[in-house]
Structure 1
């Protein structure tokens, strides 16, 4: 991956405590708003559990469903004898300077386990929140779905309106058991001077399904991430949907990799990107290593004004009979589309806004109503900044 080096010495990785909360509603109004724009409901209505990590420590952990276990990762390591089968099993702690720093400075993170056969009716939500300036946040998350389990998890990552600079290092490892289904929706609500370096990987067993939604509509200094999912069992499925906007000053290097390592697997990666002055490097990689197997990769980008979009789709097949396809398109809004809407009574700005809103449509993601509402609100605010 193309790296943007970060001076890690600029950030504090120890000593910035967070008070324990008895109720998410006790957060101040500004923080509640930031969490809302990250898809987090402080009322916890329609939620099966919640987890909040602030600065260097967990601040809130609550489970509302008997089949779901939610712990701070440090508590899970103590309870389960180091989580030998799960902790640092899919991500190499020596992969780069960021994983090494995360291993050396474990501050916390969430551990979520859904027991065998449990279909969790309402989402679990988590938030990784930076409030203090020059905070280096380092978390490690582990999500385990046992056989025949089902969960939708909503993760919001955000900074306080008063935080000027911050660095987020997040290690996430996902284990989806036989015939289990995990939907993982992530909303990034960072700031103009926040640098973000997640490192994520997952493994999906026979008949399992991993659905990933990623939304980034707010300014960020830089993001670099490339989660990799291995479909290890027959009939496993992985789908990625991403929507990203890069205003001036934002540098986003993002992508997804799916390795189809067993027969009858399916993979799909769909990304929609807009630059209004920033840079987006949009990567996608599907690897077919067993037959039969089918994969499709789609990258679409809009350039509004200045900015750069670099789409890098990759298909790799190592056995005869794998079916892989991709389509990529980057450009500006077609003038005939604008003229079509103007002919029906819109002015040019309204026509452009309508086209952009349709391009950013996240209905395909199947988001919960409240999260969809928060995303729609964020899109409206993003449109104001664009035009």
Structure 2
């Protein structure tokens, strides 16, 4: 594994909770190159034939193992697009940790676009964690555009934790999913924007098999002059159940647009959407201030609790 500097290690900690080389299978990408790659007996990581990403194959029946594939960027002006495919075998139960951190101290924009495709076998379980983080004192933007495609076979379960709390100037997140009979998808998105940042989140989930279910929930905070759009569509093509929810706090001059959509193409498709956007309640701030906090500290406590 290549030696990473202090900034790169800090980014790894932010996006993948890594303080050292992880146990198990991993691929660490730094400034457009592989900084280290390890496969295991049950998890194989190899370059794609076109050289533009990775293929990760997890053997059927693999249990209690993890894959880490974080990306860190510290060079200003660097732009890349990477395609990663994951094949999760039947009855496997694994954790996949991705995420990207960009530290841009220059005047040029830095951008990472990651396209991930998941092919989840029958009765397999996957927890996928994707964290995005930006830092640096430069005027160049930190841009992240993740695309995620999920294809779930019968009885499979996918839990997705999508987090972006700090420092990303522009992001356009698109997620699509195709669920077979009895498949379950759970998405928990947490997002905060500030300054003049922009964040777009688009989800399209097709519930194609009997008993398929989806629960897509986004919690977000828009501060300063930032803008957010949450666009979630559930399509019920069978006897299924689906729920989508956007719960947002707006502050300062921020703007938030929530666009929930439901499409039922089967008599027994049960679909629900909820959306709520509002400011922090004054009585919440006052209550915390009586405990000795300043108004700014009270706001931070409320936001931190909301985004947990």
Q: Does 1:190 align with 2:134?
A: yes
- Counterparts of 1:107-186 in structure 2, within 5 Å, are 108-119=52-63, 121-162=64-105, 164-186=108-130
Alignment CA distance shift 1:207-1:190 (3 Å) = same
Runs of 4+ in structure 1 displaced over 6 angstroms?
A: none
Q: Is the 8 A contact 2:11 2:72 kept in 1?
A: no
- Counterparts of 1:287-302 in structure 2, within 5 Å, are 287-291=235-239, 293-302=240-249
Which residue of structure 2 lines up, in the alignment, with residue 103 of structure 1?
A: none
Which residue of structure 2 lines up, in the alignment, with residue 34 of structure 1?
A: 11
The partner residue of 2:25 within 32, 49, 52 is 49
Q: Is the 8 A contact 2:8 2:73 kept in 1?
A: no
In 2, Cα distance between equivalents of 1:44 and 1:276: 35
Deviation at 1:42, TM superposition (A): 4.7
Which residue of structure 1 lines up, in the alignment, with residue 160 of structure 2?
A: 212
Q: Does 1:341 align with 2:283?
A: no
- Counterparts of 1:245-256 in structure 2, within 5 Å, are 245-256=192-203
Deviation at 1:196, TM superposition (A): 2.6
In 2, Cα distance between equivalents of 1:150 and 1:110: 20
Secondary structure of the residue aligned to 2:38 is strand
Q: Is the 8 A contact 1:53 1:108 kept in 2?
A: no
Deviation at 1:345, TM superposition (A): 4.2
Q: Is the 8 A contact 2:104 2:142 kept in 1?
A: no
Give the number of equivalent residue pairs.
302
Secondary structure of the residue aligned to 2:257 is strand
Alignment CA distance shift 1:56-1:29 (3 Å) = closer
In 1, Cα distance between equivalents of 2:47 and 2:166: 28
Q: Is the 8 A contact 1:56 1:108 kept in 2?
A: no
Q: Is the 8 A contact 1:246 1:275 kept in 2?
A: yes
Deviation at 1:70, TM superposition (A): 1.4
In 2, Cα distance between equivalents of 1:352 and 1:287: 37
Deviation at 1:146, TM superposition (A): 0.8
Secondary structure of the residue aligned to 1:134 is coil
In 1, Cα distance between equivalents of 2:293 and 2:19: 38
Secondary structure of the residue aligned to 1:336 is helix
TM-score norm. by structure 2 comes to: 0.92
In 1, Cα distance between equivalents of 2:55 and 2:284: 47
Provide Cα deviations, 1:14-40, integer angstroms capped at 9, x if missing partner.
Answer: xxxxxxxx25xx211111111111124
RMSD between superposed Cα atoms in Å = 1.8
Deviation at 1:344, TM superposition (A): 4.1
Secondary structure of the residue aligned to 2:297 is helix
Secondary structure of the residue aligned to 2:286 is helix
Alignment CA distance shift 1:352-1:133 (3 Å) = closer
Which residue of structure 2 lines up, in the alignment, with residue 71 of structure 1?
A: 46
In 2, Cα distance between equivalents of 1:133 and 1:126: 22
Q: Is the 8 A contact 1:130 1:137 kept in 2?
A: no
TM-score norm. by structure 1 comes to: 0.74
